[in-house]
Copies of this chain bind each other. A is one copy, B any other.
Amino acid sequence: MKYSTKLSDAAHVLAFLALHPGAALTSERIAESVQTNPAYIRQLMSALRKAGLLVSVKGHPRPTLAKEPDGITLLDMYRAIEGDKPILHQDTHTNPDCGVGVNIQLALRDYYDEIQKVAEDRMSTITLQDIIDTYRKKAGVNNETEVSA
Q: Which of B12, B95, B119 contacts A87 (CB 8 A)?
A: B119
A3 to B92, alpha carbons, bound, how many Å?
11
Contact B9 A102 (CB under 8 A): no
Size class of the A contact interface (CB-based, 8 Å): 35 or more
Please give me the residue from chain B that is nearest to A120 by CB atom.
Answer: B115
Q: Are A97 and B148 closer than 8 Å at their CB atoms?
A: yes
**A144 interface residue (CB < 8 Å to B):** yes
In the complex, which residues 1-27 of chain A have their Cβ closer than 8 Å to any Cβ of chain B? 1-5, 7-9, 11-12, 15-16, 19
Q: What are 25 inter-chain pairs, A to B, with CB distance below 8 A?
A: A3-B89, A5-B89, A5-B90, A8-B105, A32-B98, A33-B94, A33-B100, A34-B94, A35-B95, A35-B101, A74-B111, A95-B149, A97-B149, A99-B142, A99-B146, A103-B144, A107-B132, A107-B134, A107-B138, A108-B131, A111-B126, A111-B131, A114-B126, A115-B123, A118-B118
